């Protein structure tokens, strides 16, 4: 299958936000649409923890992207009008340099020698892509989930570059409940003997740890009410359960198993650990002394905050904190509270609710 992935190599030393440096890191990205003559129609999208830069299909790569219904010709982020850029996070494993990449200084895979990753570094990766593309202002900066925190980091590192900002299911800092969940996911991977302190062979990953971590992810990305309506107490057929007294018996267990199996071969475990910890470490307060002071420094003039009542990773009070902190200073801040059932993942699946909200912001 052909790929629409492009890459920029950032030549020289790339100093990391919390110390250390990378040499000649690569940032992978994809683009849709054309940059107009005034160079004024660019939109930059940062992703959640696990997606690649393939947000939408295109002629070169017709496979559906992770935001297929949002990005494209005639879609809410209309690629006939906008030049849309999506970057693969620094630290990830879909083209950008990360812990699974080779360290050019040693010729070995970085693994745990990769320096501490911060979302500020991910944001700067996006900035390097803009420089490479000759984009010096953004009509809009878009970030769902971890991508929203990355977008906030971008705003604080490169003030005034984005005219507008769309934050979805995100928050100004990681709180202890989500830190605890991510910490446990990391521990599941790290305690899998197959992890080998990060030194698993390239073609053999700690599958058990990744499977458990992904299942916990799925549980925290969706909502209890969605599953109550969708699965109830429905059982799987007896054949699936087998003779194992603790085998899969309920449909919800089968659903988790199916999704975990899809994920575990795709994502590098060390990259997962670094991006997960980077989310824990993020705090707008690091840029100004408090969340309020940090948010007050953001320069985008139009801001949309979208939160979901069933999202317990980035709960509604964090949406209010964003809205309150961003309001004032001449900024026009819109807040949309959605009652989608699908929890944190709603921005990926409840397209009927998101489509009009995003379309209206970009109209």
Among 219, 349, 357, 359, interactor with a copy of itself by CB under 8 A = 219
292 binds a copy of itself (CB under 8 A): no
Buried b (16+ CB within 10 A) or exposed e, 218-252: bebbbbeebbeeeeeeeebeeeebeeeeeebeebb
Measured CA to CA, the distance from residue 160 to residue 148 in angstroms comes to 17
Structure tokens given for 51: 């997606």
228 binds a copy of itself (CB under 8 A): yes
173 binds a copy of itself (CB under 8 A): yes
Is residue 29 classed as helix, strand or coil in its secondary structure? strand
Find tokens 């803009």 and name the residue: 130
Among 193, 201, 242, 265, interactor with a copy of itself by CB under 8 A = 193
Question: Near a copy of itself by CB under 8 A, which window of 22-30, 139-147, 186-194, 322-330?
Answer: 186-194
287 binds a copy of itself (CB under 8 A): no
Among 71, 252, 308, 322, interactor with a copy of itself by CB under 8 A = 252
Question: Near a copy of itself by CB under 8 A, which window of 60-68, 137-145, 242-250, 293-301?
Answer: 242-250
Structure tokens given for 42: 């660019």
CB-based contact 306:314 (threshold 8 Å): no
Closer CB to a copy of itself, 197 or 352, in the complex: 197
Catalytic machinery residues: 145, 311, 344
> Phi, psi at residue 178, to the nearest 5°?
-75, -30
Is residue 32 classed as helix, strand or coil in its secondary structure? strand
Among 9, 21, 60, 112, interactor with a copy of itself by CB under 8 A = 112
- In the complex, what is the shortest distance from the CB of residue 216 to a copy of itself, in angstroms, rounded to a whole number? 6
290 binds a copy of itself (CB under 8 A): no
273 binds a copy of itself (CB under 8 A): yes
Distances in Å between the Cα of 129 and the Cα atoms of 8, 9, 178 are 7, 9, 30
| Strands annotated E in the chain | 6-9, 13-15, 21-23, 26-32, 42-45, 71-72, 77-78, 83-87, 140-144, 164-168, 302-308, 332-338
Closer CB to a copy of itself, 164 or 279, in the complex: 279
Q: How many residues bind a copy of itself (CB under 8 A)?
A: 47
Structure tokens given for 17: 């936000």
188 binds a copy of itself (CB under 8 A): yes
278 binds a copy of itself (CB under 8 A): no
- In the complex, what is the shortest distance from the CB of residue 287 to a copy of itself, in angstroms, rounded to a whole number? 14
- In the complex, what is the shortest distance from the CB of residue 333 to a copy of itself, in angstroms, rounded to a whole number? 23
187: Cβ–Cβ under 8 A, 6 or more apart, which residues? none
103 binds a copy of itself (CB under 8 A): no
CB-based contact 118:146 (threshold 8 Å): no
Q: For residue 308, count other CB atoms closer than 10 A to its CB.
A: 29
CB-based contact 185:216 (threshold 8 Å): yes
Among 3, 6, 103, 116, interactor with a copy of itself by CB under 8 A = 116
Q: For residue 359, count other CB atoms closer than 10 A to its CB.
A: 15
Find tokens 């309920």 and name the residue: 250
61 binds a copy of itself (CB under 8 A): no
Question: Near a copy of itself by CB under 8 A, which window of 41-49, 73-81, 144-152, 228-236?
Answer: 228-236
| Residues in contact with a copy of itself by the rule CB under 8 A | 112, 116, 173-181, 183-184, 186-188, 190-191, 193, 208, 211-212, 215-216, 219, 223-224, 227-228, 230-233, 245-246, 249-253, 256, 273, 277, 280, 283, 312, 315
């Amino acid at each position: 299958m052909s790929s629409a992935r492009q890459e920029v190599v950032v030549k020289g030393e790339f100093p990391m936000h919390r110390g250390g440096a990378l040499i000649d890191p690569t940032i992978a990205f994809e683009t849709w649409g054309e940059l107009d003559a005034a160079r004024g129609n660019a939109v930059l999208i940062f992703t959640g923890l696990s997606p690649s830069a393939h947000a939408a299909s295109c002629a070169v790569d017709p496979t559906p992207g992770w935001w297929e219904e949002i990005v494209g010709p005639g879609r809410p982020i209309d690629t006939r009008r906008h030049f849309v850029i999506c970057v693969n996070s620094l630290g990830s494993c879909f083209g950008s340099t990360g812990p699974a990449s080779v360290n050019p200084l040693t010729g070995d895979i970085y693994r745990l020698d990769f320096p501490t990753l911060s979302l500020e570094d991910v944001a700067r990766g996006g900035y390097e892509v803009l420089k490479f593309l000759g984009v010096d202002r953004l009509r809009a900066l878009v970030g769902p989930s971890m991508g929203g925190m990355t977008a906030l980091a971008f705003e604080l590192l490169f003030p005034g570059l984005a005219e507008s900002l769309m934050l979805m299911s995100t928050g100004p800092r990681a709180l202890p409940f989500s830190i605890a969940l991510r910490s446990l996911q990391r521990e599941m991977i790290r305690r899998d003997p197959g992890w080998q302190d990060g030194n698993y062979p390239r073609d053999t990953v700690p599958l058990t740890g990744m499977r458990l971590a992904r299942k916990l992810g799925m549980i925290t990305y969706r909502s209890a009410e969605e599953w109550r309506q969708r699965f109830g107490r429905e059982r799987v057929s007896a054949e699936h359960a087998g003779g194992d007294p603790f085998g899969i018996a309920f449909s919800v267990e089968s659903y988790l198993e199916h999704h975990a199996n899809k994920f575990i071969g795709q994502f590098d475990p060390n990259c997962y650990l670094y991006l997960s910890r980077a989310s824990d470490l993020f705090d707008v307060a690091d840029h100004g002394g408090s969340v309020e002071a940090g948010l007050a420094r953001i320069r985008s003039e139009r801001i949309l905050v979208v939160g979901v009542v069933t999202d317990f990773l980035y709960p509604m009070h964090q949406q209010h904190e964003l809205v309150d902190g961003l309001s004032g200073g001449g900024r026009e801040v819109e807040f949309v509270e959605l009652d989608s059932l699908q929890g944190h993942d709603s921005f990926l699946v409840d397209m009927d609710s998101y489509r009009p909200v995003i379309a209206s912001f970009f109209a």
